[in-house]
Structure 1
Amino acid sequence: MNRLKGNYHTAMPILVGKELGAHMQSWRFLILVLLIILTFVTSMYVSFTNLRSAVGNMQDPDKSFVYLKLLTTTDNSIPPFHVFLNFLAPLLGISLGFDAINSEQNNGTLTRLIAQPIYRDNLLLSKFASSLILIASLFLALVLLMVGGGLLATGVGIEVQEVLRIFGFWLISVVFVGFWLSLAILLSVKFKQAATSALVAIGIWLFFTVFFPIVVNLLVRSFLPSPRMMSEAEILYYNELISTVMRLSPGQLFSDASTTLLMPSVRSLGPLTMEQMIGAIPAPLPFKESVMIVWPQVSGLIAATCLCFAWTYASFMRREIRS
């Protein structure tokens, strides 16, 4: 029993190291990393080009946050980096998890792994933890590169508020990719073929990215009258209903959270009436209040990730792996 207990604690670092090495030697991971780095460099180039005009805009309440401007400033030729990340980050999570289990079983290595003095939960946790470590390291390196480049280009010191907001954006990005990673691992447990799990995961991603907003607008418009025939209160309810239903999409949760953290002047994620806007001073919010605004979105992403991983854990622990 003591030997098994010791193996339980020593197996995780070995398995995580094995998975890290396999991912870093994978062509699909390297290609997606190059795509994300390319979009990051392109977005930073556009931001640096338009940074002076953005900071000089006296009507912008966020003009003093130089480093946040690097992540949000654009000339409308390309989207800012956090919008790019909303599109590419799910593909990174799917690519790291769609064949996590079924490829091991198809290659015959899963049976040999379980035959060793390790537990199934060790194997599953190592698959998830190694991919999440890679994702967190990649995004952290990009954030540090952005801060270093901004310091060299502008010579302006970074403020504590900016450090907290950029760190919060990094954390939310890791959680967002972690959701798609846990979903992809779930599909790799449910389907025997890696191609099937990859197609289903990409189909889910396409649905939430492209078709879900269209479906929501069509359904809401079919049950409600035309906005031209509504009062101001009914229009407000109409927009609030669409915003609420849209938050069933993980991409919308990430977009709301990242926009609020990177743009301190954002005070609400829903529609506001004229009475609510009267007397409001266009000034940036403190970091704590921005976190309170986005906490439902962040907790929703964390809950969805935990739900997918719990479902994966329950399915894998009951799965027959000898066939």
Structure 2
Amino acid sequence: MTHRQQISPFAVIVRKEIGDHVRSWRFIVLLVLIVLTFLGSMYVSLTNLTNPAASPAVPDNGLLYLKILTTTDGSLPSFHIFMSFLGAILGIGLGFDAVNSEQQNGTLIRLLAQPIYRDNFLLAKFISPLIVISALFLSLGLLMIGGGMVITGVSIEMVEVLRILTFIILTVLYVGFWLSLSILLSVKFKQATTSALTAIGIWLFFTIFYKIVVNMVVKAFLPDPAFLSQTDILDYNNLILGFLRFSPGQLYTDATTVLLMPAIRSLGPLTMEQMAGAIPAPLSFRESVLIVWPQMTGLIAATVMCFAISYYWFMRREVRS
């Protein structure tokens, strides 16, 4: 009894939520979908990497395990491209009914009648799926490394370990954004179906329509690029890229591309002056992180903002109705 009394209510809720997620059919279906996607991408990559020691002219020729995550023959996208779609579905699927289902079932008022603070309840709804997601992607990363060692016999380098771990952290941040957004919608709407449809609508907008809208607006208000100088065209392209990076999927794709492909030296167009004197060698891990740091902080800021709004709404919400 003494040991149980030392367990905080927050830890109890987190443990209960983790158990509910792991045993739910929703999570099992999403898990099977992501694992099948992962295995398919790994199979395509390994079958195309018949010669692990690629041409010496390729700057990142020795980083085999990064190539496993990025190589494709066109039949299937690489895993990090897949995750820009599936990560959003995973986050939405785990959070769209986090709060409103509890209220609809009548369990929310019973939970808050216990010595449990509202902020602990909402934080547990966010932390517990993140723990499950982190364990999932860490396991997939270790599976990829172990499978690569068994199949190719090539040992992994430390820089690859750092890049793959950073990729996993970035993927968890990306899924965490959609989880935070879906929790926000579950606080806003009383019906789980409404919050799910709204979250899917936002995801579809950023995935399909946002780029079309940006191109239409830019073409409507800016002059034709055919009549611009080289410097103006560079500014034109940077402006479009700046607007596109308001999309969380674009932030995630940019960051993971630089992390998993060290030969990429910039996320935007380069001038000839910037290219002059550049050594054709892969960037160091530190330099790659510095390039993608704005994308990482952008995802963190968007996640914190969504959770802060949901926290504000939930703390002011009448839970007895």
Q: Which band: TM-score by shorter chain?
A: over 0.9
Count residues in correspondence: 318
Residue correspondence of structure 1 range 1-323 to structure 2 within 5 A: 10-53=8-51, 55-323=53-321
2-side partners of 1:116 and 1:8: how far apart? 16
1-side partners of 2:208 and 2:50: how far apart? 34
1-side partners of 2:249 and 2:229: how far apart? 31
Q: Letter of the aligned partner of 1:257 in structure 2?
A: A
| TM-score, length of structure 1 as denominator length | 0.96
| TM-score, length of structure 2 as denominator length | 0.96
Which blocks of at least 5 consecutive residues in structure 2 are unaligned? none
Q: Letter of the aligned partner of 1:203 in structure 2?
A: G
CA contact (8 A) 1:43 1:81 kept: yes
Partner of 1:3: none
Q: CA deviation at 1:8?
A: 9.6
CA contact (8 A) 1:47 1:72 kept: yes
**1:135-162 deviations in Å (ceiling 9; x for gaps):** 0010001000000001111111111110
CA contact (8 A) 1:54 1:69 kept: no
Q: CA deviation at 1:52?
A: 2.7
Q: CA deviation at 1:13?
A: 1.5
Q: Letter of the aligned partner of 1:151 in structure 2?
A: M
Q: CA deviation at 1:12?
A: 1.4
1-side partners of 2:33 and 2:53: how far apart? 29
Percentage of matched positions with identical amino acids = 63
2-side partners of 1:20 and 1:68: how far apart? 31
Which blocks of at least 5 consecutive residues in structure 1 are unaligned? 1-5
CA contact (8 A) 1:7 1:117 kept: no
**1:184-242 deviations in Å (ceiling 9; x for gaps):** 00000000000000000000000001100111111111112222211111111111001
Q: Letter of the aligned partner of 2:94 in structure 1?
A: L
Structure 1 runs (4+) deviating above 4 angstroms are: 6-9
CA contact (8 A) 2:10 2:124 kept: yes
1-side partners of 2:5 and 2:270: how far apart? 57
RMSD over aligned CA atoms reads: 1.4
Q: CA deviation at 1:7?
A: 7.2
Q: Letter of the aligned partner of 1:19 in structure 2?
A: E
CA contact (8 A) 1:54 1:73 kept: no
2-side partners of 1:296 and 1:7: how far apart? 43
